[in-house]
A and B are shown apart, each in its own frame.
Chain A
Amino acid sequence: MRSLLAQVWAQPNEQPAWTLSKWETVLGQARQARLLGRLARHYADHHWLVTVPKQPRQYLEGALRLIERQHHEVQWETLCIRRALMGVDTPVVMLKGAAYFVAGLPPRHGRLFSDIDIMVKKECLPEVEGALFRHGWISEERDAYNQRYYREWMHEIPPMTHVQRGTVIDVHHTITPPTSRFKVDGARLLECAVAIDGWEGVYVLAPVDMVLHSAVHLFQEGEFSHGLRDLLDINDLLLHFGTDAGFWGALFARARDLGLGEPLFHALHHTQRLFGTRAPQESAQALQDIRPNWITRQLMSALLNRALQPLHPSCDEPGSNLARWLLYIRSHYLRMPWYLIVPHLTRKAYMRYFPKNGKAAMNADQVVR
């Protein structure tokens, strides 16, 4: 069965007619794709909730409660981060979910959060880390190899967890790893960052950069468990910013400039395929210019058609797992040269089978204490 979810946003004003058993599947897909909140919000905004049978409706309403709570938390966390970094000479740029939230952009609606991503000046990283540490965030990454992996090869430092609140923050200095094929200089993004009204010292990326970040993130992180959600974010941003004259031209120009044409191409291809959003006619040539070669297009489209489905049994097709695995490998290949990848992935695989004490996944009985 294809993703029932994507249809919701492909025809946003048509209420799907789902039976109870379809609802079961949709809720499962939405949970897996981290879109349950989005789905619930969509239904609430269209005043459709009253027409949903009681059992599925309870889970939509539960998701609305969860969103409301999380949005309070994100607001509070952002204030705490801003206060912690007050004395550091860097703009604090919120990325992804937190950016949509503070800037009031459409993807914020119904969004569930797991952590907060920020970007700061690279040269300020040690100072930022120190300031966050003094305000209660500590790095829980004890493993020396992983510390080195982040600090030498990645575009972010190891995640920091707040000792009391348990909230997690990822501190970036740019949007792609320095070893990446799509290396982007963070300073160029910071130049164009946009201040947020009412949030002194808090910024978000410029609209075109925000779209490009989402695109490169989607295809380079290799984690497709919420790929559909990330693509929907891009779709929202395109619909929102796309009405500004000059947005599309600026988007293609910036993509060429930063060397992010290929991820942008894939993102546009799939937002069009799944949600019907297309670049305006006058951008046809610009789109043509960033198009990768035929083989890459066919291959990537075959892989992404599968990987951009919710990671739910109802969406499993032959080759789904293989597609995700190949994209995972590809994401590493894009991020690092092969002489770094091979040992890194080997080590990761080994650690998965033989975790060190304390690093094992949670046990079921620890949840119900």
Chain B
Amino acid sequence: MTLSDLSPVEVSRRLGGGGLTIRTGPFNFRIVSGIQSVAEGLAALYSDYPLADDHEFVDFTVTLARSRGLRRWWRPQVKFTYDGQSPFAPLPVDHAFPLLEWAMNWCISTQAHQYLCLHAAVIEKKGLAAIMPAPPGSGKSTLCAGLVSRGWRLLSDELTLISLTDGLIVPLGRPISLKNESLDVIRQFVPGAVLNRVTHDTSKGSVSHMKVPVSHVNRLNDQARAGWVIFPKYVPDAGAELTARSKANSMLELGRNAFNYTVLGLAGFEMLADVVSASDCYDFTYSRLDDAVSVFDKLAEGRSA
């Protein structure tokens, strides 16, 4: 059963009651919220995701509720609560949906130490994954959205999860976050893209999320092996260009971009070393998505799993 099997009324009823339980990659989330934009966002972006059965274990229960008190009437706010704890400052109530996405990422990156968790987008072709770590503003999500619309499979836009037991990359498959100029770039590049309602004036500017193609969602159990580590950078008017990057430096930079590298200690170090050893490492500059796609496709042709 997927979310689209439920009527909008039923979605709202579950969200406002005991919670709506969605399976995304290896995690079950129970989402509790009476806020309409949350229901709308979920209906728009998560319709193809399986719902967890009642007897299944739920990894994270997240609640988004309107703040109480006088603020209810004067600039209403939304508060995120996880297990009775509210780690973040409340936001204006119309930021509820992006807050949900950020909060879900926060749950995973702070709790899921069964994975080495990198702050990086990750996509797959022919069983091989391209890990793309990058600081904000480097065009990582835009590139990820572009490639995912042209034959690459989305594993994750934000968190690369590497299993500590077998070193395989586990798909998370959640919607791709886009912001500001990249919204228009993707609307043009992917005419059929489904984006949810844009939220303006967040601390990241205007943000929206792109729906993941259903064929990708249906393959959330298919893991991938690391094939490339690519550090993308958007440079206006530049051609698409790959340059080799040393493995040692790539490893350092990946470690810096890992949420729980230090928690995992030696296990994290060894895992990262294995990932980097198995990968070709590059810096990648680009300005046009079409050029980027052909460079990536050429990479994939050159190797097979």
Contacts and interface: CB of A to CB of B under 8 A. Distances in A.
A68 B268 CA distance: 13
A37 to B, nearest CB: 12
Interface stretch (B1-9, B41-49, B54-62, B277-285): B54-62
Interface in A41-89: 53, 55-56, 58-59, 61-63, 65-66, 68-69, 72
Interface size class of B (residues with CB under 8 A): 35 or more
Nearest to A310: B84
Q: Is the interface of A mostly helix, strand, loop or mixed?
A: helix
Nearest to A69: B263
Interface stretch (B105-113, B143-151, B190-198, B217-225): B105-113
B8 to A, nearest CB: 26
A369 interface: yes
Interface string A328-369: 000000000000000000000000000000001111111111
Contacts of B267: 65
Interface string B195-216: 0000000111000000000000
B89 A368 contact: no
B302 interface: no
Nearest to A28: B83
Given A55-B59, A312-B84, A365 B111 contact: no
Contact of B85 (A59, A66, A69, A311): A311
The winner among B57, B103, B265 for most chain A CB atoms within 10 A is B57
Interface in B103-127: 103, 105-106, 109-114, 119
Contacts of A368: 102, 105-106, 109, 119, 158-159
Given A28-B84, A62-B111, A65-B113, A362 B204 contact: no
A63 B112 CA distance: 9
Contacts of A310: 84
Contact of B114 (A31, A62, A312, A313): A62
A311 B82 CA distance: 11
Contacts of A28: 61, 83-84
Contacts of A367: 88, 102, 105-106, 109-110
A364 B99 CA distance: 7
Contacts of A56: 57
Contacts of A69: 262-265
Contacts of A59: 111
Contacts of B106: 364, 367-368
B136 interface: yes
B80 interface: yes
Contact of A362 (B55, B56, B89, B158): B89
Contacts of B110: 367
7 contacts: A20-B55, A24-B57, A32-B83, A66-B263, A69-B264, A363-B88, A368-B106
Shortest 10 CB-CB distances between A and B: which pairs?
A62-B113, A361-B89, A364-B102, A55-B57, A28-B83, A368-B105, A58-B114, A364-B88, A20-B57, A312-B84
